[in-house]
Structure 1
Amino acid sequence: MEKFQAINTWVNGIVWGWPLLIAILGTGIYFTVQTRFISFTKFPYIMKQTFFKMFSKSQVGEGEITAFQAVATALAATVGTGNIAGVGTAIAIGGPGAVFWMWIAALFGMATKFAEVVLSIEYREKTANGHFVGGPMYYIKNGTNMNWLAITFAVFGAVATFGIGNMVQSNSVADALNTTFGIDPFITGLVLATLAALVIFGGIKAIGKVTEILVPFMALVYIVGSLFVILFNIQALPAAFVLIFKEAFTGSAAVGGFVGSSFSLAVRYGIARGVFTNEAGLGSAPIAHAAATTDHPVRQGMWGVFEVFADTLILCTLTALVIVMTGAVETGLDGVSLTAAAFGMGLPFGEYIVTFGIIFFAFSTILGWSYYGERCVEFLFGPKATVFYRLVYLPLIVVGSVGGLRTVWALADTLNGLMAIPNLIGIGVLSPVVIRLTKNYFKKGGLYEKDQVL
């Protein structure tokens, strides 16, 4: 077992190392340029079509769930412990400057997520029972005919769900509740598994109905709590931004319990945590978007831009500002402990905000990733295999809550990164399709101009 862990650690270091990070960032830059900077030039229009139509029930086109239910499911899977623990880890190792590189990853990641979602709609399939299925395995298979590559993605995705989307999340909730309220981790696991089962067995429609309520609620509470900390320490806000921009290019000096970091660490951990939190390039979110009701791939693609914006540029930024403004980075803490300490330093009982965030963020991630895993398993073995998948997935929530199978966690983290390789190849080969569909949507007399008139 120790030998396996050593090998996995070595492979994980390569997977989440510079080559993949450069590939993901480079892909984002490429699609940003090729779509004529759609994430920036059309940002007001994108917000009009997404944020301001969040709860609209008037849907045009085919699909199983509303456009917002699709993005809520994707956000449910994306907004997880990475927004709390991941940001804390990035700053603890890479210093405050890592936040700047996290922003850079998100700004270009919006175009990557846009491309992924566009392709997921363009190449999705409608099953015999009326379900819409899609994602990297389908656009790779149907768009490039490289079935082996599609199967590779599905295998990586199916196994990764058990760790990164399941046991890691339940363990985070169990730890938080045990530390704060003394609740037995096993009890926490049973409750989480039961609640998850009630939703998961209802399929994508049930998941969508739950997440469209859960995601806005949990995001609002966390945002309000973060803003209170920032407002109570508003005098430190200008200095925090100066520190972030300054140390993005110089690294951090050792202060207090903080060991300091280099420019290289700031870039690496900033980009890595940015990718880890918004999942742009990993290929997971397009699986949920494929079920959306929409009249054009680009219209749903805009929800991909919104997804990255909300996850990283809003939620992760708030976490980062709280950590930097309160000076918690000098405590020498890491991950969730660092974030909890920062909220506690900035607001009476502020650590409860972190506990709340972990509970809801992690539970929503369990729901979202269960759907991703089902679709990957269905692609590999057929619809009947999804029942077996659920019967394995749900008990592992309890196993994770008590800290079991940590080797699986480590392997899942590696496979989570490996998902990006076939996905990046797929969207790279199919980039002309993304460009063609984008031009088609924004052409004279097209859907864009009709929306402007309306």
Structure 2
Amino acid sequence: MEIVETINDALTFIDGYLGSAGYFPYLLIGVGVFFTLYLGFPQIRYFGQATRIVRGQYAKKDSPGDTSHFQALTTALSGTVGTGNIGGVALAIFIGGPAALFWMWVTAFFGMTTKFVEVTLSHKYREKTEDGTMAGGPMYFMEKKLNMKWLAVLFAMATIISSIGSGNMPQINNIAEVMSTTFHIEKWITGGVLAILLAMVIIGGIKRIAKVAEKVVPFMAVVYVVGAILVIAYNYENILPSFQAIFGSIFSGSSAVGGFLGASFAYAMDRGVNRGLFSNEAGQGSAAIAHSAAKGKEPASEGMVSLLEPFIDTIIICTLTGLVILSSGVWSEKHFNKFDRADMEFVVGDYTDSNEEHVKKLMIHLDEKRSVPSEIKPFTGTISLQEGKVISDGFTLLNSRSVAEEVTYLDSEGNPLTGEIPVSEGRLEDSSITVQGKSLIHSANLTALAFTKGYMGESGKYIVSLGLLLFAFTTAIAWSYYGDRASIYLFGPKAVMPYRIAFVALFFLGAIVDSTVVWTLAYVTVALMTIPNLIGITLLHKDMKNTVKDYWKNFKQDQAD
């Protein structure tokens, strides 16, 4: 079996005990529900106050910190508004169907409170470093308030790993993929150029990062939102059916339609919650690191600013992406593409998605959360080819969770193959063979295709290319800061430069790695941060409530003065 597939299988196994485990969605949403009730729905009650704070209405020049409230918000947004909004939403719908979007909304609504809590506590227990800048994040309240150094170290290590696994490699991988598809630019060229630009920005630290973020984030958000609205308006007759598809399958799972083979309730919920977390990072504790640098004496005021992030990121931007994909109809259609090795599986038997019995069996086979064993087995044997076309039978090629059609096999030079090729346990043994044909597509390529189904026609894909370039690049910038703060916590200031060099090098590598492996790695690393962070903030629930009370007491006194 090829090394890429081995790595992906290993990561999938680990993910089964973390982000894709049955307990994880309930843990993430459960903590959000608890704090929402415990603090009296702060995401609704404090929304107006948050907008006033971020506009600088209560700002004081002598407040300690490195950035303004708006810069902290845009820096954190640059870390959250990225591939999750473009490729992540598409991946959630691709795997879990329309209902996955509903679970992204649920995650965002309760995530607004979770982010309010984690940012408030991180800002409260931040420290000034040797170079005079602020450093904060869950690791500081874990050590200083909970006296759980081991948990703080675990979280800081997870932050460094996640900065690579979710904030770095998935971003450049999606950029390179879309730039290759849209402009036919070699992936290594995209990776090389952007790696140089990334290095130029992150060497300047948080102040330069904040200045870039406050200019780029609002611009890219406006461009992307306008482009999405134009596509949705063009397909206006599909808006209501799209919402019906979302709400009609919340608890039943999504039915098969077109090339989409269906998804169970558990799978739709799991993917929706996971993609919601990857998109807005509420509960992960990452944005709390950016907000800890904000100027201010009242921790709760910065927490209120942060609750705007899941609203902007998921309720607005992810919803628009989801409606573009659903209203355009491309999510359930097969399109010509080159198959990623980790997306392909050869199975025993001849299957078609036009046969209802076949569809049921295939859906069970593809559902990793199935309650009954799959009857379908991986194929081992040889495939006979003539001019790139299959002339033998007894197997079916699945690609991107669909039955592949019009498949062609090419050699390393792009010529159609003739002869026999070996398959072992459902995988091609020869890694030099290119396989292409029609199947479902996912991630950023699906969103790019959906954007062409509107008033802008083929030009619509350039909106996605530009949006992804800016969204994902600024996400990587923000995550480099999260990682270097964690490096300082663990190893001191001397560790920052080696970390930044490694971050840039792996950013380049991410451009040329298999996209399925990159996304599986992202699932694992996000959960590694989230679980210890959720434990930490839950243990400090009383501290949080007292901090909010102190904020309103001091706020009323300041207003009276």
- TM-score normalized by the length of structure 1: 0.93
Aligned mates of 1:82, 1:405 — CA distance in 2? 14
* Post-superposition offset of 1:404: 7.7
How do residues 81-100 of structure 1 correspond to structure 2 at under 5 angstroms? 81-100=83-102
Q: CA RMSD in A?
A: 2.2
Does the residue aligned with 1:247 lie in a helix, a strand or coil?
A: coil
Residues of 1 paired with 2:228 and 2:516: CA distance?
A: 31
Q: Does 1:48 align with 2:52?
A: yes
Report the Cα distance in structure 1 between the residues aligned to 2:9 and 2:41, rounded to whole angstroms: 42
Pair 1:15-2:13 in alignment = no
- Going from structure 1 to structure 2, the CA distance change for 1:171 and 1:213 (only over 3 Å counts) comes to same
Instruction: Letter of the 2:152 partner, please give it.
Output: A
Structure 1 or 2: more helix by fraction: 1
Of 63, 66, 69, 2:65 maps to: 63
Would you say the 8 A contact 1:83–1:277 is kept in 2? yes
Partner of 2:30: 26
Question: How many residue pairs align between the two structures?
Answer: 449
Asked if the contact 1:164/1:416 (under 8 Å) is kept, the reply is yes
CA contact (8 A) 2:65 2:134 kept: yes
| Match of residue 232 from structure 2 | 230
Give 1:143 deviation, angstroms: 1.1
- Equivalence for 1:191: 193
- After TM superposition, give the deviation of residue 21 of structure 1 in Å: 1.8
Alignment of 1:278-317 (within 5 A): 278-317=280-319
Deviation at 1:48, TM superposition (A): 3.1
Separation in structure 2 between the aligned mates of residue 293 and residue 283 of structure 1, nearest angstrom: 19
Moved more, 358-367 or 254-263: 254-263
The answer to whether the Cα contact below 8 Å between 1:328 and 1:338 also exists between their aligned partners in 2 is yes
Q: Which amino acid aligns with 1:7?
A: A
Structure-2 separation of matches of 1:405 and 1:94: 18
Which of 160, 182, 185 is the equivalent residue of 2:184? 182
Q: Which amino acid aligns with 1:25?
A: I
Deviation at 1:99, TM superposition (A): 1.1
Q: Secondary structure at the match of 1:261?
A: coil
- 1:374-389 pair list within 5 angstroms: 374-389=484-499
Superposition deviation, residue 392 in structure 1: 1.4
Larger mean Cα displacement after TM superposition, 132-141 or 386-395: 386-395
Seq. identity, %: 45
Deviation at 1:29, TM superposition (A): 0.5
**Residue ranges of structure 2 left out of the alignment (5+ in a row):** 334-439
For 1:275 and 1:6, how far apart are their aligned partners in 2? 22
CA distance in 2, matches of 1:74, 1:354: 21
Of residues 247, 250, 258, the one that matches 1:248 is 250
| Paired residue type of 1:153 | F
1-side partners of 2:556 and 2:98: how far apart? Answer: 40
User: Hey, what does 1:431 align to over in structure 2?
Assistant: 541
Q: Which runs of 5+ in 1 are unaligned?
A: none
Three-state SS of the structure 1 residue aligned to 2:155 is helix
| 1:35 equivalent in alignment to 2:24 | no
Q: Distance in 2 between matches of 1:214 and 1:76?
A: 9
Distance in 2 of aligned mates of 1:321 and 1:53: 33
In the other structure, the counterpart of 2:9 is: 6
Q: Secondary structure at the match of 1:291?
A: coil
User: Contact between 1:59 and 1:66, CA under 8 Å: does it hold in 2?
Assistant: no
Q: Structure 1 residues 412, 271: CA separation in 2 closer, same or farther (over 3 Å shift)? A: closer
**Alignment partner, residue 103 of structure 1:** 105
- Tell me whether 1:350 sits opposite 2:460 in the alignment: yes
How far, CA to CA, are the matches of 2:91 and 2:525 in structure 1? Answer: 20
Please, which moves more after superposition, 334-343 or 376-385? 334-343
SS of the residue 1:249 aligns to: coil
> How far, CA to CA, are the matches of 1:84 and 1:375 in structure 2?
27
Using a 3 Å threshold, how does the CA distance of structure 1 residues 405 and 181 change in structure 2: closer, same or farther?
closer
| Structure with bigger RCO (C-alpha 8 Å, 6+ apart) | 1
Instruction: Determine if contact 1:169/1:362 at 8 Å carries over to the other structure.
Output: yes
Name the TM-score, length of structure 2 as normaliser.
0.76
- Amino acid in structure 1 at the alignment position of 2:449: A
Write out per-residue CA displacement over residues 255-304 of structure 1, whole angstroms, 9 at most, x where no aligned residue.
11121222222222111111111111111110111100113111100121
Taking the TM superposition and a 5 Å limit, the aligned residue runs for 1:202-241 are 202-241=204-243
C-alpha separation between the residues in 2 aligned to 1:407 and 1:7? Answer: 10
Q: Find the structure with the greater CA-based Rg.
A: 2
Q: 1:269 aligns with which of 252, 268, 271?
A: 271
Aligned equivalents of 2:142 and 2:60: distance in 1? 31
SS at match of 1:64: coil
For 1:196 and 1:300, locate their aligned partners in 2 and report how far apart those are by CA, in whole Å: 27
Match for 1:139 among 131, 138, 141? 141
- Distance 1:249-1:178 versus aligned 2 partners, 3 A rule: same
Displacement after TM superposition at 1:189 (Å): 1.5
Q: Which has the higher strand share?
A: 2
Distance 2:226 2:32 in 1: 31
Equivalent AA in structure 2 for residue 338 of structure 1: L
Kindly provide the amino acid, as one letter, of the partner of residue 542 in structure 2: P
> Which residue in 1 is equivalent to 2:202?
200
Quote the offset at 1:185 in angstroms: 1.9
